[in-house]
Amino acid sequence: MNFQMNEALEILERTPETLESFLTGLSEGWLHCDEGMGTWSPAQVVDHLIDCEINNWIPRVKKILEADGDKSFPGFDRFAHITNPSYTAIEEKVKQFKQLRHQNCELVRELIREESQVEWKGEHPAFGEVNLRELLSTWVVHDFTHVSQIVRVMAERYREDVGPWSEYLGVLRK
């Protein structure tokens, strides 16, 4: 296993700045492009990440770390950002994400004081028993997934424009 708490936090703390640098100040065309029906734009991905900060990661971390009681994770609607869309500017979305992520990383540092705690368990509604290490690792890879998704979606916008060079552009290979 490769999980190290400090390394996980290194990534989690950098994602907001990555998105801020990559997305703020861009034209609406970049922010609202997608790959077709049922796919997400970069702005929608940020909305999803905000929702995860509020309703997914920390509630589940807390559930695992509760002294006793039901260890079942609260439900999470992965598509809430689609059914309840946000129309705020990307700068505001990124600012909110940045604030939430900072608070959540600090909370993780406060709540997880011993290395052994990462093996504590909770109950996922679909996967059954999972441990805190798996949850935290998933949080990191979830960030990678959505940063990658944003890049892929934005590259797709220029698929036709690159002409024959698409053969050399791995991000456009599906």
Residues 6+ apart with CB under 8 A from 24: 90, 91, 94
Residue 57 has pLDDT above 80, yes or no: yes
pLDDT band at 40 (very low <50, low <70, confident <90, very high): very high
Beta bridge mates, 8 = none
Q: Check: pTM over 0.75? Answer yes or no.
A: yes
Counted domains in the chain = 1
Is 89 inside any structural domain? yes
pLDDT in tens, 86-118: 889 999 999 999 999 999 999 999 999 999 999
Residues 153 and 40 sit within 8 Å (Cβ to Cβ):
yes
Residue 79 has pLDDT above 90, yes or no: no
pLDDT band at 84 (very low <50, low <70, confident <90, very high): confident
Is 45 inside any structural domain? yes
Is 14 inside any structural domain? yes
Residues 6+ apart with CB under 8 A from 98: 16, 17, 20
Is 174 inside any structural domain? no
Closest among 111, 112, 113, 98 to 12, alpha carbons compared:
98
The CATH number of the domain where 87 resides is what? 1.20.120.450
